[in-house]
Structure 1
Amino acid sequence: MKFAKSRFFPAIVCFCLTLLFCGLIAPVWGKTPPHLVAKSPSSLGEAIAAMEEDWTREYEQYFSREFLDEPMPVAEMSRAIAKLSQASGQRIAVIWIKTKADRLQLALLTPDAQPIKRTTTGVSEQQLQQTLQSLHNNLVAVTRRHRTTYLEEAQQLYQWIIAPLEATLQLQQIDTLIFCAGPGFRLLPYGVLHDGEQFLVEHYNLATIPAFNLTSLQYNPLENAQVLAMGASEFSDLEPLPGVSAEVQTIVPNLWQGESFLNEAFTLEQLQQQRQQYPFEIIHLATHAVFNAGTPDQSYIQLSDRKLRLNEVDQLDLNQPPVELLVLSACETAIGSQQAELGFAGLALQAGVKSAIASLWRVSDVGSLALMSEFYQNLRNTSTKAAALREAQLAMIRGDIHVEGDTLY
């Protein structure tokens, strides 16, 4: 792929998005590489139910609370996805990913077929984790030194995760992938997976969910939404974020209607008060957000007056009424920690919001401004948040927007 000169490579942000679709007819198996073992769909419902149960329990144990009264049967998942398919006008597939000691298990649910299962053998759990860690390290290096050392891992992961399902996805004209993954894969920036010619985000809208059973199923367009944008640029014990003021003021009022508060005005009391006065559908927080190993109280969102611990986020009552989108634009996450994974991937779940967009690692202020500006511009003209984010990422991949030093072009 040809990159624009001195171009800033976009940090692929990880997000949980409420887009769910289903399959209704017989499975299409396509051509299966010899190292892949096709499984009968007769037991797939039980396999999906088991993954959903395991992952729901993990989130409940991590956050020390119950999220689910009764799990959803796979047949009901299909009906829920069908309804959302019609509402959003997209062709969506849900992919479950689970690792075993010597294999990778994939389950796929599409709008026009019964669920199918693929098992990639000959891949150890240790090999998978090493590849994921190496990809993350190289992606962080890319944002600093404009190198492409991440491509080897990005292409290998594509072969393990996407290639086994590629024939079915193409045959059914899927345009949106929702990943529901177990330990190790919850922090994977799926958009960077590479088929040797293009990134995955160049083919699909992308989203992740903690579990299907834990995901809101209601589709609501956002063209008339109000944004509460808040941020801080100076901190007593953290690095400054000098671009926050420009980011917040670009979003509100330049790109979107709403209210904005900066620095000393970015307090817990102000956030709670603003939500009580008006039910903002989008909340954008431009500040440090850190997801650490350990219990939820070790992770936090930095306000101007205090650290809002992850175990306190539910006290904001962002589900009364539910916030459609929570955006955190300056996150840092402890890659390799299952607790940090659960905290990051479960952010929307714990906060009680319908979806969240957050960065996996710190990028430059001007890079964040570029990506967020494009995202909010696209959000008015696309049917979903996933499509809006994809268009922003594509603009950076094409070189329509790039960064040299601290300057945005």
Structure 2
Amino acid sequence: MVIDPLATTRQLATFEELWSIVKENYLYRDFNGLDWDAVYQEFRQQIEAGLSDSGYYHTMNEMISRLGDDHSSYLSPKDALEDDQMRQGEVDYVGIGVRGYVIPEKSSLTVLLVYPGSPAEQGGIKMHDNILAVDGQPVINDEGIRRNLLTGPEGTTINITVQSPGQEPRTITITRQRVGGALPVPYSVLTTSQGKRIGYIFMYSFTDTTMDDSIAQALNVMSTEAPLDGLILDNRYNLGGASDVLLDTMNYFTSGLVGYIVDRQQDFPLEVPGMDINGSQTKPLVVLVGDGTASFGEVFAGVLQNLGRAYLIGERTDGNVEILTVFNLTDGSRAQIATNTFRPPNPTDQNWEETGITPDQTVPSVWEEITQETDPALKAALDYFDR
């Protein structure tokens, strides 16, 4: 492989930029026990030996992962552009229109979201469904990594093997189409055994800046026929996102001081003014949490619990409340580095980074094995409103 010396020079320049950003801004002064100066020597030598651009991006990703906080990350220029599109509600790609997560041990991709009007929705794919194969090829390879089989040229047809919980696998034929728009926010009105009307909102992430508008719309639509008696906010697979989206969303359910951002030197208070939409500031709240809840997803649930605003049901979260700062590098790549952590508004003896968020009521659930009708956590939430 022939490496352009100019490429090496460019790579070294952005490497120096990235390494210095971590050196000067990383939350933990001891770099989690890592010798950051030794890391500099090791990775500089790799670049000087010659790397393709793709090899360089992979190497920088490895360097940041050495920090070991399971939060800081590095994005290539292409990934950074896609990250911007998602954040701005401008997702645009050719595929079937689902978002989900892989389960390596089951060789499946479990569906969390389906884009409205997408080929997936038209084909009958729903939340909780499990995609097993595309044109006979497993969606997960032998290393447990998702194969890129759902995307492809617009207008091409694929046969997808899908299994809904409790049913036999079925094969559906879907034509790939362009998928775009804001991140969906599914919602519905559920009824308790005593006839109370409870609004349900699934919160996939805080990455999309249009999320607060989507939640406001949900709160209005669900209250059209009659007032709601309570709200269930399903946060079980919310991996976090941006602080402004978190605060804009939290603004519908509480007001005033919601916590502190803590960096190397000091604490910064966070406040929201509060906006009531059809009683959203005062209606009883249940927030569902689990091991798929992370980062600002944990902060959202933990703050509402800490303020006495919400009752939490589900499973303890893993604990990952470090706050990332985005650094855009000169080559178009991006570093997301843990520079702060979060402290709740009211004193607590728990360090959320170490303990995670503990629900008020523990109710295990396995997303890929249930439907909304058989969801034990959702049932427990509905029962809570009848107490």
Same fold (TM over 0.5): no
TM-score (norm 1): 0.24
Larger radius of gyration: 2
TM-score (norm 2): 0.25
Task: Select the structure with the greater relative contact order (CA < 8 A; seq sep ≥ 6).
Answer: 1
